[in-house]
Amino acid sequence: MTTLLVKNAHLLTMDDHQTELADGGLFIEDGFIKLVGQTDSLPDTADEVLDLTGHVVLPGLVNTHHHFYQTLTRAVPAAQDANLFNWLKTLYPIWARLTPHDIFTSTQTALAELALSGCTTASDHLYLYPNASKLDDEIAAASEVGLRIHASRGSMSLGESKGGLPPDSVVDDEDSILKDSQRLIQKYHDPNPGSMVQIVIAPCSPFSVTGELMKQSAQLAREYGVHLHTHLAETEDEEQFCVQKFGHRPVGYMQEVDWVGDDVWFAHAVWVNDQEIQVFARHNCGVAHCPTSNMRLASGIAPIKQYRNAGVKVGLGVDGSASNDGSHLLAEVRNAMLLARVKEGITGYSLSDDPNRKLMTAREALYLGTRGGAAVLGRKDIGSLETGKCADFFAIKGDKLGFAGMHDPVSAVVFGQPVNADYTVVGGKFIVKEGQLVTVDEQKVIERHNKAAKRLLS
């Protein structure tokens, strides 16, 4: 048995009572939390003792939407100032050149960045497989970094010649997509508590796959009890595409292809009306909110407050790094809080109307980034620091210049300029220690990544 004692920290548990301990700690056994409480209530010793005096400790952040490979195409000049459809059309031909080595390399870069931002579980959506690339390349790279991964077997089958958006060169035939999806579930999917790898079935978007593939994907996922994920209602362009091609708005189209249920979560879900929010609530669908990407691509502002009021599960995602162009999940927490406030402002909110009405708080934004994300991914073993849960957390030291004068250590990490984690721990194992990645060599990751990125655009 291996034990780790964390002590003397300001600890936010994110349990049902939002318990916060000014001098708290964790006692961890074999990767799971055995005890959580005041430091003086915990055992005195362990195999390893981590004294986090002056640090805030939070549950590990959960990233519900990303495209790791896009870290190779950040800030491409021709795609810097385009909206979604034009951005995609510019980048598809570049992505068609990706190799298995690029998938491996970009996965490590994205996960290293995520780990340094406090993330301990990430979902990735890989939806193109050029030049014999496989989801296996991503899973192998992730196991070296040490974060939990929900690897989505994405797909595109509706090319330009059939009325879709992507060029035919990056779409695949549907039989091989389904066969590969089944192979991956059988090979990697682990539904048990503490799972490091889960497989998700994830046709890319309404404008890049057929309705038939959506239906068959849902059938396959339900046969094996794995989750379903896709982009939905991201932009007004997509809404028009769905109405013209399928005779439904995006959410209606999902109902038509049997894509509603507590095993489904949608990335973005910006362009929805009140009835559609109720559809999500009734069927317990989840939403991956990606505020930075939505701002970067001028997609719109998702109605997070309405989702929350209706009881819809909401988590956060950094989205593909070419539409962010970073993988800093704590920065996403901050942007989620700020963008929710922008939405309040532009929808006529006035403090004088209701002085008791509160704007989204820092702790609420952190909830979305932790427990919200865990619920969206269907995980009961992560998202909060409670007995029996995975020992996934991150710690930030409070004596940084940007925190000087802050009067609330938890809010400081959201209201303040986003900083990197000093410690990130997954299942009791250190991924980041004293601000440094310990599972991979950061400099080597950067060098390998820049070389691959340069080749891709040459």
CB of 216 to Zn ion, least distance (A): 22
> Do β-strands 48-51 and 32-38 pair in parallel, antiparallel, or remain unpaired?
unpaired
Instruction: Output the CA torsion 73→78→84→90 (10° steps).
Output: -80
> Do β-strands 393-397 and 55-59 pair in parallel, antiparallel, or remain unpaired?
antiparallel
Residues 291-310 binding Zn ion (CB under 5 A) are: none
Among residues 141, 147, 121, 144, which one has the least CA distance to residue 65? 121
Only segment of 178-186, 196-204, 311-319, 326-334 that touches Zn ion (CB under 5 A): 311-319
Cβ neighbours, 10 Å, residue 190: 11
Tell me whether residue 319 or residue 325 sits nearer to Zn ion (CB atom): 319
CA distance 173 to 407: 57
CB of 231 to Zn ion, least distance (A): 5
Tell me whether residue 64 or residue 384 sits nearer to Zn ion (CB atom): 64
Tell me whether residue 8 or residue 133 sits nearer to Zn ion (CB atom): 133
**φ and ψ at residue 120, rounded to 5 degrees:** -120, -20
CB-nearest residue to Zn ion:
319
CB of 278 to Zn ion, least distance (A): 25
CB of 227 to Zn ion, least distance (A): 16
Residues 345-384 binding Zn ion (CB under 5 A) are: none
User: Maximum Cα–Cα distance for the chain, whole Å?
Assistant: 67
Each residue 313-352 as x (binds Zn ion by CB under 5 A) or -, in order, gives ------x---------------------------------
**φ and ψ at residue 48, rounded to 5 degrees:** -135, 135
CB of 352 to Zn ion, least distance (A): 39
Tell me whether residue 198 or residue 294 sits nearer to Zn ion (CB atom): 294
Tell me whether residue 239 or residue 319 sits nearer to Zn ion (CB atom): 319
For residue 15, say if its preceding peptide bond is cis, omega within 30 degrees of 0: no
Cα Rg of the chain, angstroms: 21
CB of 302 to Zn ion, least distance (A): 13
Tell me whether residue 154 or residue 428 sits nearer to Zn ion (CB atom): 154
> Kind and range of the H or E element at 179?
helix 174-188
CA distance 240 to 214: 19
Side chain identity at 408, as an amino acid letter? D
Residues 244-273 binding Zn ion (CB under 5 A) are: none
CB of 384 to Zn ion, least distance (A): 26
79-103 in b/e burial notation, b at 16+ Cβ within 10 A? beebebbebbbbbbebbeebbbebb
Number of residues that bind Zn ion (CB under 5 A): 1
CB of 297 to Zn ion, least distance (A): 10
CA distance 269 to 286: 10
Tell me whether residue 138 or residue 319 sits nearer to Zn ion (CB atom): 319
Tell me whether residue 14 or residue 318 sits nearer to Zn ion (CB atom): 318
Region of residue 297 (left: phi > 0; alpha: psi -120 to 50; beta: else)? alpha
Residues 187-226 binding Zn ion (CB under 5 A) are: none
CB of 320 to Zn ion, least distance (A): 5
Residues that bind Zn ion (CB under 5 A): 319
